[in-house]
């Protein structure tokens, strides 16, 4: 069965490591409920610290070039993702629509390459 | 060969279901069609062209699956029943066509891609023809189609008719594609004939199917009404030699009364269901109804038609709607007024209908040189053979030397 990445994009670079408002608390509860409901299709996922904690890495020959953040002015940032195993795109879309961030930000559904299955 | 195209898309629709791959099914059907083009001229058209094509396409599909399995060193998926499966019944084929329509019109594809895919798979148009129909260069269209096929395959766009709860959200794309499908049948973008009646017939059949699925949806009823009312004129639009007969000259006794009656019934219900927010297709059906209700060209209610176009402009303000409105204004207020409206639209490069309509008005005003120039420009553009013959006659009337 195909697997999909549900990439979560939000505006404002939220910090989900600090749950300091009732709104965030409610959202965390929503994520908990989503995780429970989607348990059967869930193959993994993670929430990410804000982009202010990120490091960009490039390699140029032997030299490792690092820099701060992705892009300071990016309006929407990747804040987390789920890996879902679904029968088809419609099922993946239906689950993605239930991710709390689908209401406040957006979710990008991308098929995951299965290198074991050969090219399709 | 029109027969091959139509049967080809039916065979394709079923093969997509049985193989689960649009790519594979398209390759297999294309191969079967080429084989038929090679064989049929010598052996004659088989008694059941669909059965012949189905068998040929299945064999090719099995061949392709085996070849791919050998290449990748993996077991072929079990398609052993493919060769022996019975030729599907007509109802199954209709269901398969509807499934294919919904796959092509999946909302994860852009509307442009949806319609292009529908024209490719359901109408069997070539990439070049689709490019012309959608006013996109052929190379761009080829890229768009291959990207879409890949997306359908790797993203797992399903091959099924959506459930009741999803249907309304999926409708816009499907209706747009069906509308284009019908238009291609009503006025072919290429080939010798003005009308591809099988294509128009397919659009009507798909509209009916969709209406059965969504009986309460006014837009579906509106499109069904539009297709019925426009299609009712098919027989009168051609003379004995397949030449174009324009609306003004049509023998209205040859219009299909049953289709008009059915179309009017659907239109009435759809209009009552959309009193506040007019619908794109219902409004166009209302224009078609004005023509259907006129006993003669002279008694056409042009004022009503112009009003309906005004409503249509509030829904979709496009150059094509403005063009149609201008033609109606020319009948209501005379060719000078119509010409002024046409010229206000500005040039639509590559759009022959505007050139032809403008030249017609110029000819009526006695401005023969300008009219002839317009007809020549229109003739330089691609179109079907019947339309071109018609344009040449018009040109000859303005400029006897041509």
Please answer whether residues B87 and B48 qualify as being in contact, where contact means their C-beta atoms are separated by less than 8 angstroms.
Answer: yes
Q: Is residue A119 in some structural domain? A: no
Give the whole-angstrom CA distance, residue B266 versus residue B275.
Answer: 15
Q: What is the pLDDT of residue B129?
A: 81
Q: Is residue A120 in some structural domain? A: no
Q: Quote the mean pLDDT of chain B.
A: 89
Q: Spell out which residues of chain B touch residue A111, defining contact as CB-CB under 8 Å.
A: 154-156
Element spanning A7, H or E: strand A3-11
Q: What is the pLDDT of residue B383?
A: 85
Contacts of B304 (CB under 8 A, 6+ apart): B290
Residue B157 and residue A88: Cβ atoms within 8 Å?
A: yes
Domain count, chain A: 1
Give the whole-angstrom CA distance, residue B204 versus residue B178.
Answer: 9
Is the per-residue pLDDT at B9 higher than 70?
A: yes
* Terminal Cα-to-Cα distance of chain B (whole angstroms): 31
What would the mean pLDDT of B32-46 be, rounded to a whole number? Answer: 93
Of B72, B155, B166, the CB nearest to A89: B155
Q: What is the pLDDT of residue B81?
A: 60
Which of B155, B161, B170 would you mutate first to test chain A, the one with the most A CBs within 10 A? B155
Is the model's pTM score more than 0.90?
Answer: no
Predicted confidence (pLDDT) per residue in B46-98, tens digit: 999 999 999 999 999 999 988 888 887 666 555 556 766 778 887 777 788 88
The tally of CA atoms less than 13 A away on the side-chain side of residue B156 is 20
Of B72, B108, B166, the CB nearest to A89: B108
DSSP class of residue B255?
Answer: S
Is the per-residue pLDDT at A72 higher than 60?
A: no
Give the whole-angstrom CA distance, residue A2 versus residue A114.
Answer: 8
Q: What share of chain A is helix, strand, coil (3-state, %, to 5)?
A: 30, 35, 35
Predicted confidence (pLDDT) per residue in B284-334, tens digit: 999 999 999 999 999 999 999 999 999 999 999 999 999 999 999 999 999
Predicted confidence (pLDDT) per residue in B336-392, tens digit: 999 999 999 988 877 888 999 999 999 999 999 999 999 999 999 988 899 999 999
ipTM confidence score: 0.84
Residue A90 and residue B166: Cβ atoms within 8 Å?
A: yes
Is the per-residue pLDDT at A101 higher than 70?
A: yes
Q: Is residue A24 in some structural domain? A: yes
The edge-to-edge listing of strands for the beta sheet with A106-111 is A42-47, A76-85, A3-11, A106-111
Confidence bin at B272 (pLDDT 50/70/90) = very high
Q: Give the 3-state secondary structure of residue A78.
A: strand
Pairing of strands A55-60, A63-68: antiparallel
Interface of B with A (CB under 8 A): 72, 74, 106, 108, 153-158, 162, 166
Least Cα separation, residue B104 to chain A (angstroms): 13
Q: Is residue A67 in some structural domain? A: yes
Q: Is residue A66 in some structural domain? A: yes
Check which CATH number belongs to the domain holding A105 and give it. Answer: 3.30.70.1060
DSSP class of residue B314?
Answer: H
The residue segments making up the domain with residue A17 are: 3-114
Contacts of A31 (CB under 8 A, 6+ apart): A100
């Amino acid at each position: 069965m195909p697997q999909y990445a549900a990439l979560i994009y939000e505006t404002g670079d939220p910090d989900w490591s600090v749950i300091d408002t009732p709104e965030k608390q409610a959202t965390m509860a929503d994520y908990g409920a989503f995780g429970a409901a989607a348990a059967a299709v869930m193959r993994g996922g993670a929430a990410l610290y804000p982009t202010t904690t990120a490091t960009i890495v490039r390699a140029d020959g032997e030299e490792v070039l690092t820099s701060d953040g992705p892009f300071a002015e990016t309006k929407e940032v990747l804040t987390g993702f789920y890996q879902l195993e679904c029968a088809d795109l419609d099922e993946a879309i239906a689950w993605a629509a239930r991710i709390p961030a689908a209401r406040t930000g957006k979710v990008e559904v991308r098929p995951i390459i299965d290198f074991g299955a050969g090219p399709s | 060969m029109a027969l091959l195209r139509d049967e080809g898309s039916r065979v394709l629709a079923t093969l997509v279901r049985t193989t689960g791959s649009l790519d594979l099914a398209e390759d297999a059907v294309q191969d079967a069609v080429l084989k038929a083009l090679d064989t049929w001229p010598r052996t004659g058209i088989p008694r059941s062209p669909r059965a012949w094509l189905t068998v040929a396409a299945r064999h090719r599909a099995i061949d392709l699956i085996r070849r791919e399995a050998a290449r990748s060193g993996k077991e072929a998926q079990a398609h052993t029943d493919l060769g022996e499966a019975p030729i599907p019944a007509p109802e199954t084929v209709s269901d398969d066509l509807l499934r294919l329509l919904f796959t092509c019109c999946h909302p994860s594809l852009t509307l442009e891609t949806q319609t292009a895919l529908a024209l490719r798979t359901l109408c069997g148009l070539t990439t070049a023809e689709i490019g012309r129909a959608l006013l996109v260069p052929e190379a761009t269209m080829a890229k768009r189609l291959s990207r879409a096929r890949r997306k359908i395959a790797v993203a797992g766009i399903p091959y099924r008719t959506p459930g009741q709860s999803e249907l309304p959200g999926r409708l816009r794309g499907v209706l747009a594609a069906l509308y284009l499908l019908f238009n291609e049948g009503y006025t072919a973008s290429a080939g010798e004939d003005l009308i591809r009646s099988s294509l128009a017939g397919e659009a009507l059949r798909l509209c009916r199917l969709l209406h059965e699925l969504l009986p309460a949806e006014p837009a579906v009823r509106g499109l069904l009404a539009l297709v019925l009312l426009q299609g009712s004129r098919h027989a009168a639009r051609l003379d004995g030699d397949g030449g174009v007969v324009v609306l003004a000259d049509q023998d209205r006794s040859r219009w299909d009364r049953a289709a008009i009656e059915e179309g009017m019934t659907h239109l009435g219900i759809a209009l009552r269901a959309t009193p506040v927010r007019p619908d794109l297709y219902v409004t166009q059906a209302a224009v078609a109804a004005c023509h259907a209700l006129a006993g003669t060209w002279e008694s056409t209610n042009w004022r009503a038609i112009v009003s309906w176009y005004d409503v249509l402009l509030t829904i979709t303000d496009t150059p094509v709607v403005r063009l149609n409105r201008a033609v109606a204004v020319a009948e209501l207020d005379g060719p000078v007024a119509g010409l002024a409206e046409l010229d206000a639209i500005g040039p639509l490069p590559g759009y022959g209908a505007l050139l032809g309509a403008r030249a017609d008005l110029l000819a009526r005003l006695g401005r023969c040189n300008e009219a002839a120039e317009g007809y020549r420009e229109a003739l330089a553009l691609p179109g079907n053979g019947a339309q071109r013959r018609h344009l040449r006659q018009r040109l000859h009337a303005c400029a006897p030397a041509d």
